[in-house]
Structure 1
Amino acid sequence: MVNKQIILRKDVASNKMYPKQEMIRIVKNNEGQIFIDLSKKANGRGAYLKPDPQAVEKIKKTRALERCLKVKITPEIYDLILKEINDNWD
């Protein structure tokens, strides 16, 4: 019997650890572009977020994602994250 290790990542909104497969990864690549990494393997600085609209509102209010990625986040990015949650994580 093989025991598989569950990979955990910290949610930027709540600072709690969750399994990586249950999280959305947001990446800032070397060119400074910010995007949602569906493969969870893209190069760049990444931040993980629980797919919950309340979590998005919290990171928008506290600017936690900006601190994690070390870049200014535009409102369009938050809208893109909310659209991703509504379309693929319900």
Structure 2
Amino acid sequence: MSNTRKMPQRKCVGCQEMKNKKELIRVIRTAEGEFLLDATGKKNGRGAYLCPSRECFQKAVKSRGLERSFKQAIPKEVYDALEKEMEALETE
């Protein structure tokens, strides 16, 4: 019997690829309706996952993947704020 642990798999809303949960960035909608990046993966709220790349973020915006996951329209200002947060994570 193998002792390897199963890693949770999640689908990127941009490229639609299944990847390990730890490889993806979680975007959450809080109960107050605010959208945030969740680097820890432990914040409360409805979540959607993205690859940590600009290309996947652009695909998610173009295909409305985040809107589909959250079942609501997302204002352009939110996309701009999320893009700035992702750029900050890429430079770290």
- Does residue 1:44 correspond to 2:45, yes or no? yes
Letter in 2 for 1:9: R
Q: What's 2:69 paired with?
A: 68
What is residue 27 of structure 2 aligned with on the other side?
26
The alignment's C-alpha RMSD in Å is 1.8
* Structure 1: stretches of 5+ with no match in the other structure: none
- Identity, % of aligned pairs? 37
Runs of 4+ in 1 over 4 A off after TM superposition: none
Q: What's the TM-score once normalised by structure 2's chain length? A: 0.83
Alpha carbons 1:56, 1:78 under 8 Å: kept:
no
**Counterpart Cα distance in 2 of 1:28 and 1:85:** 16
| Cα offsets for 1:32-82 (capped at 9, x unmatched) | 111111221112110000011111111111111101111221222222222
Q: 1:8 corresponds to which residue?
A: 9
1:85 has 2:86 as partner? yes
Distance in 1 between the 2:86 and 2:17 partners? 19
TM (normalized to structure 1)? Answer: 0.84
* Equivalent residue letter for 1:73: I
In structure 2, stretches of 5+ residues that fail to align are none
User: Across the two proteins, how many residue pairs are aligned to each other?
Assistant: 90
